[in-house]
Amino acid sequence: MSDLADRDRVVERLATARRVLFITGAGISADSGLPTYRGIGGLYNDQHTDDGLPIEVALSGEVMASQPEITWKHLAQIEATCRGAHPNAAHRIIAALQDRLPTTVLTQNIDGFHRKAGSHDLIEIHGDLFELYCEHCGHHENRSDYSGLKELPPPCPHCLGHLRPAVVLFGEALPRPAVKRLEEVLTEGYDLVFSIGTTSVFPYIAQPFVAAAQFGALAVEINPASTNVSRFADVTWRCGAASALEQLWAALPAR
């Protein structure tokens, strides 16, 4: 966190805000032991996978359809980094803010940590790694982890198809219910918006932060490095999410 004046400015806005929006990316889960995918400590950082493919290709709808074993291999690697990890202080503090004012979370993460921490108004714009379904017969099942999967891609228990996670792969459409809820939030407006641990490369992640000015909202960025939306921030904290939110939480008046 930068200085007390910035912290107090955010605390004051929280005291009067009618709604707060949190936009989160992989960086918010770094304190849970999960790697980010780009940026500082990035898992990929524009490197090719061991299949000789850029990660955006390996994790694409096209490759899932033609060579599902490749996409599943990398999804399983992501799941393995999540296994045994838990929500950290940043996730828990965001969930706790629900008791103070309406709080919406727009997350790119598929690790489920915001849900596990207790956030209710949650827009999982890229889906859920642990919800599996069959595109052929519609069978759905939820898993706590992938340890019970004996082969990848896992066969559907009800037809000759195979299961896939309910996540948005590169080149695929965003889930309509999530898009609809985001549209509602942008229509309702908000008084305070946080961008946490995301490089904001996708327009639908950057736009709600950029739009803060039209709502008269205070825009706060928490990220160790500069991002695509840094120039739109009113307050910038170049640190990790858990550290910043713990300091902010400690400064809030008791209730």
Structure tokens, 119: 């956030």
β-strands 140-142, 127-134: how paired? antiparallel
Q: Are residues 92 and 72 in the same domain?
A: no
Which pLDDT band holds residue 36 (cuts at 50, 70, 90)? Answer: low
pLDDT digits (tens, 9 = 90+) for 211-227: 999 999 999 999 999 99
Q: Are residues 253 and 220 in the same domain?
A: yes
Q: Are residues 150 and 254 in the same domain?
A: no
Which whole number is the average pLDDT over 12-33?
A: 94
Give percent of the chain above pLDDT 70: 93
Q: Are residues 163 and 248 in the same domain?
A: no
Nearest to 130 by CA among 146, 117, 115: 146
Q: Are residues 136 and 255 in the same domain?
A: no
Number of domains in the chain: 2
> For position 38, what pLDDT does the model report?
47
CATH of the domain at 239: 3.40.50.1220
As a whole number of angstroms, the distance between CA 189 and CA 21 comes to 9
**pTM (predicted TM-score):** 0.91
Q: Are residues 213 and 194 in the same domain?
A: yes
Beta strands of 80-139 (E only): which ranges?
103-107, 122-124, 127-134
Which of the 8 DSSP states describes residue 71?
H
CATH of the domain at 133: 3.30.1600.10
91: annotated active-site residue: no
**What are the backbone dihedrals phi and psi of residue 236, each rounded to the nearest 5 degrees, phi first?**
-125, 125
Q: Are residues 185 and 246 in the same domain?
A: yes
Domain carrying residue 48:
42-84+129-167
Helix (H, G, I), strand (E, B) or coil at 22: strand
Q: Please report the DSSP string for 213-230 in residue order.
A: HHHT-EEEEE-SS--TTG
pLDDT digits (tens, 9 = 90+) for 92-146: 999 999 999 999 999 999 999 999 999 999 999 999 999 999 999 999 999 989 9
Q: Considering 74, 91, 114, 126, which one is annotated as catalytic?
A: 126
* Distance, C-alpha 2 to centroid of its chain: 24
